[in-house]
Amino acid sequence: MRYRIVVAGQLGPRYSGAFDGMTVEPLAENTAIVGQITDQAHLQGVLERIASLGLRLVSVSGENDRAA
């Protein structure tokens, strides 16, 4: 499943390496981290990485990749 995880603030390029395989997209006041999450353990790992970096989580949303 593809996820869009939004964190508060603008993340610099140095954070891109912290989220392997995901895209870091700047927004107006926040930053979106977008990409494939394979399972619950993978999602938990990404959320733990966000917490360990001291980032504030704004939202998490998932979307199915399958076309309806």
- Could you give the residue ranges of the DSSP H alpha helices within the chain? 40-52
pLDDT score recorded for residue 65: 62
DSSP 56: P
Specify whether the backbone of 43 is left (phi greater than 0), alpha (psi in -120 to 50) or beta: alpha
40: exposed, middle or buried (C-beta count within 10 Å: 0-12, 13-18, 19+)?
Answer: exposed
Question: Would the pTM count as exceeding 0.75?
Answer: yes
Compute mean pLDDT per 10 residues along the chain, 68 residues long, and list them: 96 86 93 95 96 96 70
pLDDT score recorded for residue 60: 97
